[in-house]
Chain A
Amino acid sequence: GNSVTQMEGPVTLSEEAFLTINCTYTATGYPSLFWYVQYPGEGLQLLLKATKADDKGSNKGFEATYRKETTSFHLEKGSVQVSDSAVYFCALTTGRRALTFGSGTRLQVQP
């Protein structure tokens, strides 16, 4: 089956620090990979995606590269802001299966 493993949080950073949130996966078939962000009290918003190996998804300064050889899709941002504080979910889908989510990583950015 499909599964996603994320680093446990919370991750606490100072403003302008570099961010990495690790995500690895196992999948039956060839997955598409996603990062979703959830702000307090809200639903999930698609942050970025990659649909094939070596693709780089990017949005709002966040990036993640689809690494088939290491089955990873780590999220990075060069300089975080207080407004980036949220919970980040890595997710995947294969074939016609519904999205499978990781357990989420809470990011707290301090001024």
Chain B
Amino acid sequence: DAMVIQNPRYQVTQFGKPVTLSCSQTLNHNVMYWYQQKSSQAPKLLFHYYDKDFNNEADTPDNFQSRRPNTSFCFLDIRSPGLGDAAMYLCATSRVTGEPNYGYTFGSGTRLTVV
């Protein structure tokens, strides 16, 4: 029944070593989002895809990239993780941007640790 699946649940990476987080969805939603959530803070939007159109938030560091090869999958690439990038990364989907009626569907998140 899981509709938005994030793998892995926990990821440990070395300082400066590229890492990729993955997200898949079975909802056939047009929009996929990546949020970063640090401890006790609000989720912060990094970027989103509307179909193949990529939308980057102005304050998202260049260190963060994303790929969406098809409707079902979206990846978050961190090129050179720093200690400050340790966080929970949340993937979410919606039918359209700013979905007013149903909100977003979130995955369970990937907790990234940088050592």
Contacts and interface: CB of A to CB of B under 8 A. Distances in A.
Q: Do A and B come from one complex?
A: yes
Interface of A: 32, 34, 36, 41-46, 49, 51, 89, 91, 93-99, 101-104, 106
Nearest to A30: B100
Max chain A C-beta neighbours (<10 A), residue from B33, B42, B111: B42
Interface of B: 4, 6, 33, 40-43, 45, 48, 90, 92, 96-109, 111
Contacts of B6: 43
**Interface SS of chain B: helix, strand, loop or mixed?**
loop
Contact of A98 (B42, B97, B111): B97
Nearest to B4: A43
Contact of B98 (A43, A95, A102, A106): A95
Contacts of A44: 43, 90, 92, 104, 106
A79 to B, nearest CB: 25
A96 B90 contact: no
Nearest to A91: B103
A32 B42 contact: no
Contacts of A97: 97-98
A51 B109 CA distance: 27
B45 A46 contact: no
Nearest to B40: A104
B109 A98 contact: no
Nearest to A6: B42
